[in-house]
């Protein structure tokens, strides 16, 4: 497996910021696709964090859904519609759940870690499906949100929402990059490579895994909140196993060599799926599967390995 090197990470984040600014000139439908990909990319970034510690979370949609439903319930049920309160609430709710799940998951490894996380996310899915007051399987719509007391006009609302999403994604990339370059972040690699030796050195592998889960929960909750605001809708599918599986696949597809890789991978996957569904609605799953298989066979370290090889050259 290709080693990760974060010396060039500030440069990559700046490039991502420039690309996101340039996206203002894209067609509205394509920019909305990018906006939803940014929200989903945050969740895939959380998966990458745990993969660096050698663990794969098949229930990452749990925190994604909690963040989305926190925004939805506060805005649609409690009448709180300002992002200054909604998004922090989404992160806090996900972090609270992350504390409990982190304590539990840090005791397990490999398939037990993956299956336990998946089981808890499906429990939440079952509860939401049975909750008629939350719309059951259909979910519910949320009203337009305000920005620090300002409710933008309908014409400029997509621009404001995109600008907020892009800004928060850049901020999240900076925070996660600093975490991965810190001592705590570097210990994640040690857990994946030789957990016993790490314990001999006096570090707690359970604590390292806990903080990886905790951090992943926070950024995934933010992603869920951003998606709820972008689409104006939440539903139980946000925590279904298919949704969680897509986050894991994007993490594998993009690679874990950079904090911006999950966003590029998620956007590439969304574009391929959109065009495949448009040009071949009856076999779009086959086309998507063929593209995925080609990437796995030709680039086992993910799409970002192309950038790493070029950087090394």
pLDDT per residue as tens digits for the range 27-85: 888 889 999 999 999 999 999 999 888 888 999 999 999 999 999 999 998 989 999 99
pLDDT band, very low/low/confident/very high, at 297 (cuts 50, 70, 90) = confident
CB atoms within 10 A of CB 232: 16
Please, are residues 290 and 273 in contact by the beta-carbon 8 Å criterion?
A: no
Distance CA 182, CA 79 (A): 40
CB atoms within 10 A of CB 175: 14
Residue 147 pairs in a beta bridge with 150
- Overall average pLDDT of the 91-110 stretch: 92
Distance CA 168, CA 306 (A): 26
Please, are residues 233 and 73 in contact by the beta-carbon 8 Å criterion?
A: no
pLDDT reported for residue 308: 67
Average pLDDT, the chain: 87
Distance CA 256, CA 269 (A): 16
Per-residue tokens: 42: 């945050």
* Residue percentage of the chain with pLDDT more than 70: 96
**Interior CA angle at 76 toward 73 and 77, to 5°?**
65
pLDDT reported for residue 291: 81
Q: What is the pLDDT of residues 195-235, one digit of tens each?
A: 888 878 778 888 889 999 999 999 999 999 999 999 999 99
**234 phi and psi angles, rounded to 5 deg:** -135, 150
Say which DSSP state 150 is in: B
């Amino acid at each position: 497996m290709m080693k990760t090197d974060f010396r060039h990470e500030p440069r990559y984040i700046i490039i991502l910021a420039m690309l996101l600014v340039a996206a203002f000139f894209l067609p509205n439908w394509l920019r909305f696709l990018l906006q939803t990909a940014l929200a989903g990319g945050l969740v895939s970034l959380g998966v990458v964090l745990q993969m660096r510690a050698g663990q794969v979370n098949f229930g990452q949609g749990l925190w994604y859904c909690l963040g989305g439903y926190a925004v939805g319930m506060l805005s649609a049920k409690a009448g709180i519609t300002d992002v200054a309160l909604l998004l922090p609430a989404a992160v806090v709710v996900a972090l609270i759940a992350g504390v409990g799940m982190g304590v539990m998951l840090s005791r397990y490894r490999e398939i037990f870690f993956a299956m336990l996380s998946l089981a808890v996310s499906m429990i939440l899915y079952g509860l939401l499906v049975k909750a008629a007051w939350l719309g059951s399987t259909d979910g519910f719509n949320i009203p337009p949100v305000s920005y620090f007391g300002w409710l933008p006009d309908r014409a400029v609302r997509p621009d404001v929402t995109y600008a907020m999403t892009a800004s928060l994604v850049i901020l999240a990339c900076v925070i996660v990059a600093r975490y991965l370059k810190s001592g705590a972040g570097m210990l994640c690699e040690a857990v994946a490579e030789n957990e016993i030796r790490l314990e001999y050195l006096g570090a707690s592998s359970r604590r390292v895994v806990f903080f990886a889960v905790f951090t992943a929960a926070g950024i995934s909750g933010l992603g869920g909140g951003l998606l709820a605001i972008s689409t104006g809708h939440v539903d139980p599918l946000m925590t279904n196993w298919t949704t969680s599986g897509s986050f894991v696949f994007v993490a594998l597809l993009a690679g874990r060599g950079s904090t911006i890789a999950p966003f590029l991978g998620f956007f590439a996957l969304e574009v391929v799926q959109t065009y495949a569904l448009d040009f071949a609605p009856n076999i779009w799953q086959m086309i998507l599967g063929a593209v995925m298989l080609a990437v796995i066979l030709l680039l086992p370290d993910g799409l970002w390995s192309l950038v790493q090889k070029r950087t090394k050259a």
